[in-house]
Structure 1
Amino acid sequence: MRKIALIPILLILFSCGSTKSLHDNAEAVTSITTCPEDGNCTFEVLKNKSLIIKTDDIGKLYYTIKDNSATSVLKYRYVKETNSTLPDSGYVEEVVFEIFNDSTNLDYTDGEIQNTKMLFGVMCFCKGKAGSYSVEKGNLTYKNNKLHIVLPELVEAQKIKDISVTFK
């Protein structure tokens, strides 16, 4: 069963039909239409934050978030439904990226997508698959209050490949 996450509309202070910045649309998510059927998806905008990408002692990527009044961090998360009686059966995929607060139209293709510092993360008890991966290819567009992201295959059996989020 496809699950559609609906988040209450908290801000209705903008005119119909105009494109707002993703930062301004933070509380205005009306639908996430591309969630895999066996889980739940959420979309979050962390206003006035910046994505800091780091590398650990064994060369694996990870990120931290810090305050920055010029940018916001956007996070799309898929959580697979699991059997709570099975230990270590959790599985999560996450796409996280950064945009400037005043961004009203975005159009990034392949290498340009790294202008957003986009990372794809897998959290699971699965050898060789868990971790964060830099997204070097794909597409990200935001226009007419619709965000659309197409990702390449970064890990085997990847669930998140196409993300569509609509804002009021």
Structure 2
Amino acid sequence: MVQEVVRSSLGAEIRERQVLDPILIKIKNDVGKKQAVAFEISGDGTLRCQVRLCVTNVDGLQQRVLAEVHESRYAFHPNSTIMYHDIKDIYWWNGIKKNVADYMAKCMVLNGRRCRSPIEWLEVKEEDMFVLDLVYQAIEKFKVIRDWLIAIQSFQKSYTDVRHRELEFKIRDRVFLNVSPR
């Protein structure tokens, strides 16, 4: 619930900050004159590049978007390329790829290793919830299978421990050696 409020407030903040950026204001004017064909203004007045939200850098908003994407719950991005491919479908701004690479480089320096944190987007649709439900069901089945494998492994280990006996040989004992070719 809190996360949804944060996400919707971030979307509202992006919409509010668009009117403060002179570049985005110019693009909005060009959209009105039909000169910027890649851009559109949605019903709520938000400027979009195709379907992606146009994010301004007023008050460090782009960095906040990167932090929100990096610290949320539903996807993993161990490097900047994967995070860029995740984020580019939702957001647009000039230099987004470089900003993502810089952000991930700082994260790697701070943590001393690659990041493995999940991601959550502005809107979670019903289909996405269905997919998440399937993922959780699969995880539960993997846990059951893992428990079975651990139990079987434990049984096999105890069985071999019981049947194991030390062998002692004396000089001139005859033994049968079974050798199989590989």
Q: With structure 1 as the length reference, what TM-score do the two structures score?
A: 0.24
Structure scoring higher RCO (CA < 8 A, sep ≥ 6) equals 1
- The structure where helix makes up a greater share of residues is 2
Q: Which has the higher strand share?
A: 1
Q: Considering only CA atoms, is the larger Rg found in Structure 1 or Structure 2?
A: 2
The alignment's TM-score, normalised by the length of structure 2, stands at: 0.23
